[in-house]
Amino acid sequence: MGLVCIVGSGNWGSAIAKIIGDNVKKLQKFVSLVKMWVFEEIVNGRKLTDIINNDHENVKYLPGYKLPENVVAVSSLREAVKDADLLVFVIPHQFIHAICDEIIGKVHKDAVGITLIKGVDEGPQGLRLISEVIREKLGIDISVLMGANTANEVAAGKFCETTIGSKILENGLLFKELLETPNFRITVVDDADTVEICGALKNIVAVGAGFCDGLHYGNNTKAAAIRLGLMEMIAFARIFCTGQVSTNTFLESCGVADLITTCYAGRNRKVAEAFARTGKTLEELEKEMLNGQKLQGPQTSAEVYRVLKQRGLLNKFPLFTAVYQICYEGRPVEEMLSCLQSHPEHI
Ligand SMILES: NC(=O)c1ccc[n+]([C@@H]2O[C@H](COP(=O)([O-])OP(=O)(O)OC[C@H]3O[C@@H](n4cnc5c(N)ncnc54)[C@H](O)[C@@H]3O)[C@@H](O)[C@H]2O)c1
């Protein structure tokens, strides 16, 4: 029987805990208690772990939804991962090194993992996938799950699809069993690197889409930004991924569907729209608008920008480049339009 540990408990972590907690009760092959590592904080004068374990609700990151009672919040990361057979990584990507470093040598050697984290890592050798960081540090196989999955809608049980990418099919299918519900339909593919890079890059496009909204460019312009962003995602995946990149993967939920939902509903879009309208900094807006949740798009644009610059490829990725320069280098947000008008896809 497999013991599951969820590493993370933000908005998405809590929504997925709801699914996992319910599923393990029905499936013999999993232990019916699920451990969830919680980055401890005080909320309304109480520890978040106490709130989750007594009231069965993550009142800070997923308010309004009860968690199954068999999901137990644990504040010690080492304690949480001890004895786990299946590890579900779901934290903002900037914390992945610190978290893996803390549990090196503490994870069961036969454990298998899956990452739901959308972002990339930047090391001395350039960009790396988050799955690679986890695989290298912990020595376990890692699948990825990415899709059009806004956490609150998943928590509400609204129908959606998602994609698992797995280099070892058997492990992908095991996670499909753990995570699938009639309203959370999973397709497993072997093109895992492409699945993962889609999840990271779509957040950059969402920032561009948010700028279009903030500038009142209208739906046609925003659709053009989304399409050109998709073309840059495909081109970047072809340059960056070492394995084969299948165009079909972009037609899965992790590709075009996630891109659409993120460009209409996600936090990156929302904050980017406010950035274009108000002129406030991203840090101010993240604090004001997200209640502790983290923005991913601007940081990913910076990581991608540095790689493109180093390889002399900035002119082939004008949307990614403009998003970075608008976010961090004071480039006027109105230049979003010129980057679309003169996009190399039109030549
Ligand atoms: N929210 C969504 O709808 C959604 C959907 C799909 C994928 N994702 C991805 O899932 C990942 C996790 O996002 P989320 O929405 O669950 O998180 P979140 O942004 O809602 O919450 C932030 C989390 O980070 C934790 N945290 C804060 N400081 C920390 C530190 N120093 N070390 C470790 N943890 C710290 C907080 O306790 C909280 O759990 C991200 O990569 C995101 O892109 C999110």
pLDDT in tens, 294-324: 899 999 999 999 999 999 999 999 999 999 9
Pocket probe for ligand 1: among 114, 294, 303, the residue whose CB has the most ligand atoms within 8 Å is 294
Q: Which domains occur in the chain, in start order?
A: 4-190 (3.40.50.720), 194-342 (1.10.1040.10)
123-133: average pLDDT: 89
pLDDT for residue 347 = 85
Bridge partners (DSSP) listed for residue 181: 184
324 lines ligand 1 (CB under 6 A): no
pLDDT for residue 1 = 82
pLDDT for residue 244 = 85
42-56: average pLDDT: 98
Bridge partners (DSSP) listed for residue 120: 129
Atom from ligand 1 closest to the CA of residue 152 = 3
Nearest to 261 by CA among 198, 315, 180, 168: 198
pLDDT for residue 135 = 97
Is position 202 annotated as part of the catalytic site? Answer: yes
178-185: average pLDDT: 98
- Answer whether residue 242 shows pLDDT above 90: no
Q: Which residue type sits at 313?
A: L
pLDDT interval class at 166 (50, 70, 90):
very high
For residue 95, the CA-to-ligand 1 centroid distance in Å is: 9
- For the chain, the average pLDDT equals 96
For residue 240, the CA-to-ligand 1 centroid distance in Å is: 25
Binding site feature residues for NAD(+): 8-13, 39, 95, 151, 267, 294, 296
147 lines ligand 1 (CB under 6 A): no
Q: Are 259 and 205 in contact (CB under 8 A)?
A: yes
- Which residue's CA is minimally distant from atom 34 of ligand 1? 39
- Which residue's CA is minimally distant from atom 35 of ligand 1? 39
Rounded percentage of the chain residues whose pLDDT exceeds 90: 96
pLDDT for residue 123 = 79
Buried b (16+ CB within 10 A) or exposed e, 275-293: bbeeeeebeebbeeeeeeb
- Answer whether residue 62 shows pLDDT above 90: yes
Nearest to 226 by CA among 336, 141, 312: 336
pLDDT for residue 164 = 98
Residue with tokens 């904080």: 41
- Active-site hit among 18, 60, 176, 202: 202
What is the Cα–Cα distance from 56 to 51, expressed in whole angstroms?
A: 7
pLDDT interval class at 292 (50, 70, 90):
very high
Bridge pairing between strands 126-129 and 120-123 = antiparallel
Residue 188 DSSP one-character state: E
pLDDT for residue 209 = 98
pLDDT for residue 185 = 98
Write down the pTM of the prediction.
0.96
pLDDT interval class at 196 (50, 70, 90):
very high
Rounded percentage of the chain residues whose pLDDT exceeds 70: 100
C-alpha distances in Å from residue 78, one per residue of 7, 30, 75, 131, 139: 10, 21, 9, 20, 16
pLDDT for residue 249 = 97
97 lines ligand 1 (CB under 6 A): no
Q: Are 58 and 77 in contact (CB under 8 A)?
A: no
pLDDT for residue 307 = 93
Q: Are 192 and 178 in contact (CB under 8 A)?
A: no
For residue 99, the CA-to-ligand 1 centroid distance in Å is: 13
Residue with tokens 């069965």: 56
What is the Cα–Cα distance from 289 to 191, expressed in whole angstroms?
A: 35
- Which residue's CA is minimally distant from atom 38 of ligand 1? 10
For residue 344, the CA-to-ligand 1 centroid distance in Å is: 35
pLDDT for residue 124 = 80
Q: Which residues contact 99 (CB under 8 A, 6 or more apart)?
A: 7, 77, 89, 91
pLDDT interval class at 136 (50, 70, 90):
very high
